[in-house]
Copies of this chain bind each other. A is one copy, B any other.
């Protein structure tokens, strides 16, 4: 194999496929980038057996061929070479010679035949959204997936399509995040659970531009994202997602309107008094048009009040401050509505049209 690509093109493609190189694996071949120049285009592939990424690299094929090169080393060599054309040539012993201006690197590769190709995905059912929207919706929900694998379903996010609405849901047993996105067309009903790790990696390589489109295809076991010169295929999490509708109620006893930034900054300050691993709640007291926030720990105490608008009853309720912070950080509205029932019932942060709903369970506290 012999190919010539610009450093910029190589780096762009390497940065994309690196997202599916496993950090640890029992299959050394997966630590490689598969460079496939056997069929008229140069294609980079990586695959951690859950997520696989393939991207087309612009460049010239002088001699067709395939090789697998250790991803980290290959990436670092390319990054440190001069900003010029780079030639990658391999011999029949899988030795790769990487040449750029006066530099020559010689490294060992592996036969490409052993590399697990991406699963084939029938491109039947798809939806289109902008890369910006997909990147945003992941950011706005991903924090409330469960971190540990005890409940596999909680480590993923529900993607549910009904007519022209894409609903994305994540939950970890203490809170639920829901975002709804309006699509440009109507689609058949569909419900899949996408691994959180897939979404985290995908969102890193999405451009974030409103004008760039990503097509999403679904099969029974896989989801495929197609954008720019790249496709990313991921396994889905099998099984039925949690029934969240019965947890969502629109009854409330107290409704408040508060400046989001003021509330977020206040809670953020309060966390200074909580040591890692400590479970001190922040206690929120609503009294007329005043919200008082208090925290008391071994380190010290804090209290602060914020002006609010209120409908309904006064209330005293405690929360894990981290959960409030996570939700508030991803809401763009300047003022938000919070709905409360009593000190044992979940609180809802949501907008009028329910384009977002953040449900957070309260915690017990001693006054």
**What is A's interface to B at a CB cutoff of 8 Å?**
73, 76-77, 80-82, 102-108, 265-266, 268-269, 272-273, 299-306
Question: Are A269 and B80 within 8 A (Cβ)?
Answer: yes
Question: Are B269 and A301 within 8 A (Cβ)?
Answer: no
A227 to chain B, nearest CB (A): 31
CA distance A77 to B274 in the complex (A): 12
Question: Are A105 and B302 within 8 A (Cβ)?
Answer: yes
Copies of the protein in its oligomer: 2
Q: Which 5 pairs of residues, A with B, have the shortest CB-CB distance?
A: A107-B300, A80-B269, A103-B304, A106-B301, A105-B302
Question: Are A103 and B269 within 8 A (Cβ)?
Answer: yes
Question: Are A105 and B265 within 8 A (Cβ)?
Answer: no
Question: Are A105 and B73 within 8 A (Cβ)?
Answer: no
Q: Which residues of B contact A108 (CB under 8 A)?
A: 300
Q: Which residues of B contact A104 (CB under 8 A)?
A: 302-304
Other-chain residue from B77, B106, B300 in contact with A269 (beta carbon distance below 8 A): B77
Other-chain residue from B107, B266, B300, B305 in contact with A299 (beta carbon distance below 8 A): B107
CA distance A108 to B298 in the complex (A): 10
Q: Which residues of B contact A300 (CB under 8 A)?
A: 73, 105-108
Question: Are B304 and A102 within 8 A (Cβ)?
Answer: yes
CA distance A82 to B268 in the complex (A): 12
Question: Are A73 and B272 within 8 A (Cβ)?
Answer: yes
Q: Which residues of B contact A304 (CB under 8 A)?
A: 102-104
Q: Which residues of B contact A272 (CB under 8 A)?
A: 73, 76-77, 80, 105
Q: Which residues of B contact A81 (CB under 8 A)?
A: 269
A335 to chain B, nearest CB (A): 17
CA distance A114 to B303 in the complex (A): 30
A221 to chain B, nearest CB (A): 38
For A301, the closest partner residue in chain B by CB is B106
CA distance A297 to B306 in the complex (A): 63
